[in-house]
Structure formats: structure tokens, C-alpha cells
């Protein structure tokens, strides 16, 4: 995987690995592609019968929406929760409809705003922080 994919997967494992009761049944690449996400989820749904798969986490929104579609096609949407990343207008609607459970966003608008802010500050010779971290936020239905 690329940098962002690897970073997301490593971040996922840094948290999920702290919970020994959660068993990860496998990983499959889907290249941040919805159709490949459908196929990967179909493979997991086939290999793990009803009652043995609680959730699917996808490193990107397109793969996650593919997983959601696969769970719905298999009539397993009520037993297999889908979590993903990125937050787009489509995924916000799916979360509001209860079709996806949650999604993290990294604040792309913030990245753009602060990127320009710090570029201008640097060009003017003003102080710029050496590191600026925009913390992710989680979108979910209340």
C-alpha cells in the first residue's frame, strides 16, 4: 500500500491490537476502489458465516462503501457493521440513513486552510510551527 494506506492500517492496529478479545480474520487489499471493496467484502462474508463476523473496517471510504454494499447484498447489514475513513457527502448520507456505522475524517478543508496559512506566513518570514497535526474526527449517527 501507499503511504496513507499504510499509515491508516498501522493506526488501526495500534488501537485494535490493545483488545485481545477482538480477532482479526484477515486483510485484503482493495486499492481504495469501491468495486474491489465489494469483492473483498464478499470474500470475507463468504468465508465467515452468519454470526462470526461483527464488523469490517476499510482504510478508505470507497472500499468501505463497497463493503457496505456487499453486506447489504448478502442480507447481513444488520449483523456486520462497516467503519471507514474520509467523509464525503455520499458517506455522510449513508451514515445518516444507518447504512454505515461511522467514519473518521482528517479535516481535508483544515489541511488546505492551514497549508495556505503557513505558506503565506513562511513567505512573509513569520513563525511557522515545525509540526502541525490536525486530529481526526469521527462522524457517526446519533
Task: Find how far residue 64's CA is from the centre of its chain.
Answer: 7
Reported as a pLDDT band with limits 50, 70 and 90, residue 1 is low
Global pTM reads 0.83
11 is a domain residue: yes
Q: What is the pLDDT of residues 18-66, one digit of tens each?
A: 999 999 999 999 999 999 999 999 999 999 999 999 999 999 999 999 9
60 is a domain residue: yes
Q: pLDDT value at position 63?
A: 96
Q: pLDDT value at position 70?
A: 98
Q: pLDDT value at position 75?
A: 97
125 is a domain residue: no
Does residue 126 register a pLDDT over 90? yes
- Domain coverage including residue 87: 3-106+136-140
Q: What is the pLDDT of residues 59-97, one digit of tens each?
A: 999 999 999 999 999 999 999 999 999 888 999 999 999
Q: pLDDT value at position 53?
A: 96
Q: How many domains does the chain have?
A: 1
85 is a domain residue: yes
48 is a domain residue: yes
Q: What CATH number is associated with residue 41?
A: 3.40.50.2300
Closest CA to 99 of 51, 141, 46: 141
Amino acid at each position: 500500500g501507499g503511504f496513507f494506506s499504510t499509515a491508516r492500517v498501522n493506526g488501526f492496529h495500534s488501537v485494535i491490537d490493545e483488545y485481545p478479545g477482538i480477532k482479526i480474520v484477515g486483510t485484503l487489499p482493495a486499492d481504495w476502489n469501491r468495486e474491489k471493496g465489494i469483492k473483498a467484502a464478499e470474500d470475507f462474508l463468504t468465508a465467515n458465516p452468519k454470526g462470526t463476523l461483527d464488523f469490517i473496517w476499510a482504510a478508505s471510504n470507497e472500499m468501505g462503501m463497497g463493503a457496505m454494499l456487499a453486506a447489504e447484498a448478502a442480507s447481513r447489514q444488520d449483523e456486520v457493521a462497516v467503519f471507514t475513513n474520509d467523509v464525503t457527502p455520499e458517506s455522510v448520507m449513508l451514515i445518516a440513513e444507518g447504512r454505515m456505522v461511522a467514519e473518521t475524517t482528517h479535516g481535508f478543508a483544515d489541511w488546505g486552510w492551514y497549508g495556505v496559512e503557513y505558506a503565506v506566513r513562511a513567505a512573509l518570514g513569520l513563525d511557522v510551527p515545525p509540526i502541525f497535526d490536525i486530529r481526526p474526527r469521527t462522524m457517526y449517527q446519533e
